[in-house]
Chain A
Amino acid sequence: MKRELPMLLALGAALLRLFLELSHYQRTEMQWQLHTNQWWAFLAATAVFIGVINLCRLHMHRIRRKVAHWQMSAWCLFVMASFGLYGILLKGPFQAGNQEHWFRWIFDSVLQPADRTMFSLLAFYIASAAYRSFRMRNLEATVMMVTAAVLMLNQASIGPMIWSGWGDMAGWFMDIINAPAQRGLAIGIFLGSYAMVLRMFLGLERKHLGL
């Protein structure tokens, strides 16, 4: 039963969703669909609660065993608990959209700048990856380098000053070479994911159940 029940639940949910997507009933206001949406929201909130329990269990275990860098686990639990409690105590547990100054400050002036700093690192990573990829070691790398040069010249402001035809050439690469390849890829991805989902519905794929 441990195996069959989750698979039956998954099959039932999948068939329900399939029915809603395909049938004309999707256009009618269905009371039971509203109920299922509310259930979904409730389950998602419960799942986050379970997630927090998971995290606490994992980090408490690390702290108890005093494993390497256990202080980071303690810090993680402290930040999670203090930020959560601060938010709840400021406005109560059932109010959304906390706009309190210091609560927002932690997010806007600490988290977001740190996030953007990490994002800006991408520029340097792109430069080093592009340098390696565009070295003309063989025919394929040469073709890639030439194509990339045309597309870059089309985007850069200096491009049209050198030659006005970059736009047409870049358009040809994008519309005639790139677009069909992308569409072929998209068809394959759709069919591949469909086959994957089918395997799960039919109970052939069970790794997510730890089986």
Chain B
Amino acid sequence: MLIPHPLLGPRDAQEFTYLGDAALLNRPDGMAEGAEAAFAEYVYLRDNPAGVHRELWFHEQGDRSWLVVTRDTTTHEILGAELARDVKLKGGAA
């Protein structure tokens, strides 16, 4: 798979390590009411869709940036990639 890195252009997916669903960017507030249940859900539960999936990849063998890659889990087709920083600053991965 080739990941279209927003700064470096197409890069081999082998240069990256995979973390999982980009919803991990939306960390719950540990001080809020019901934080324990919110964290159990955040840490352990996943949508795990068959189809378009937004996910976190770390460019470990490259510029060490975190990307949000949009990819189809039924075909492995990569539909886009953004810097995770930009996604987070825009308000999360929803």
A and B part of one assembly: no
